[in-house]
Amino acid sequence: MSRDAPWLVLPAGFPALVALTDPSGALAWSRGEPLESLEMSAGPADYITGLFTRAGAIFLETHVWPTLRREGRVDEIYLPLRAKDGGELPCLVNARMMEGPNGPCCLWLFFPTHQRGLFERELIAARSSAQELAAQLAATVKQLGEANERLQSTAEAVAERNRELDHLAQTDALTGLGNRRALSAAFQTWRSEATDADERRNGALLMVDADHFKLINDRWGHEVGDAVLVRLSATLRICVRRSDTVARLGGEEFALWLPDARRDVAERVAEEVHERLAQMSAQEGATALTVSIGVALLHEQRDGSDLPGLIKRADEALYVAKSEGRNRTCWANAAQ
**Distance (Å, rounded) from C-alpha 108 to C-alpha 94?**
6
pLDDT of residue 196: 54
Domain termination residue (choose one: 112, 128, 143): 112
Specify the length of the chain in residues.
Answer: 336
**Domain-embedded: residue 146:** no
Per-residue pLDDT of the chain (336 residues; tens, 9 = 90+): 344 455 556 666 667 788 888 999 998 877 765 556 565 544 444 888 888 888 889 999 999 999 999 999 999 888 888 888 878 888 889 999 998 888 899 999 888 886 666 666 777 888 888 888 888 889 999 999 999 999 999 889 888 888 877 777 889 999 999 999 999 999 999 988 876 555 557 899 999 999 999 998 888 898 999 999 999 999 999 999 999 999 999 999 999 999 999 999 999 999 999 999 998 876 665 567 899 999 999 874 454 458 999 999 999 999 999 999 999 999 997 444
pLDDT of residue 336: 45
Residues 6+ away with beta carbon under 8 Å from 240: 246, 256, 258, 269
Domain termination residue (choose one: 112, 130, 149): 112
**Same-domain check for residues 190 and 283:** yes
CA 122: distance to chain centroid? 39
**Same-domain check for residues 193 and 279:** yes
**Same-domain check for residues 198 and 303:** yes
Residues 6+ away with beta carbon under 8 Å from 209: 252, 253, 254, 291, 292, 293, 318, 322
Nearest Cα to Cα of residue 291 among 272, 308, 277: 277
**Same-domain check for residues 247 and 325:** yes
pLDDT of residue 287: 62
**Same-domain check for residues 202 and 307:** yes
**Domain-embedded: residue 323:** yes
**Same-domain check for residues 92 and 195:** no
**Taking the CA atoms of the chain, what radius of gyration do you get in angstroms?**
52
Residue 287 maps to which CATH number? 3.30.70.270
**Same-domain check for residues 197 and 292:** yes
Q: What is the pTM of this model?
A: 0.55
**Distance (Å, rounded) from C-alpha 263 to C-alpha 336?**
9
**Same-domain check for residues 83 and 200:** no
**Distance (Å, rounded) from C-alpha 215 to C-alpha 288?**
11
**Domain-embedded: residue 26:** yes
Helix, strand, coil percentages for the chain (3-state, nearest 5): 50, 25, 25
**Domain-embedded: residue 310:** yes
pLDDT of residue 115: 63
Residues 6+ away with beta carbon under 8 Å from 277: 232, 235, 289, 290, 291
pLDDT of residue 16: 77
106 in Cβ contact with 95 (< 8 Å) = yes
**Domain-embedded: residue 326:** yes
Q: Which range of residues forms the domain containing residue 236?
A: 180-331
**Same-domain check for residues 194 and 316:** yes
Domain termination residue (choose one: 112, 136, 155): 112
**Distance (Å, rounded) from C-alpha 176 to C-alpha 234?**
10
- DSSP letter for each residue of 306-321: -HHHHHHHHHHHHHHH
The single-letter DSSP state of residue 171 is B
Nearest Cα to Cα of residue 83 among 56, 101, 43, 108: 56
pLDDT of residue 43: 43
**Domain-embedded: residue 192:** yes
**Same-domain check for residues 201 and 294:** yes
**Domain-embedded: residue 149:** no
**Same-domain check for residues 196 and 311:** yes
Q: Sheet harboring 202-210: ordered strands across?
A: 245-250, 253-259, 202-210, 291-299, 329-331
Looking at the structure of the chain, the number of domains it has is: 2
Say how many C-beta atoms besides its own lie within 10 A of residue 152's C-beta: 10
**Same-domain check for residues 101 and 205:** no
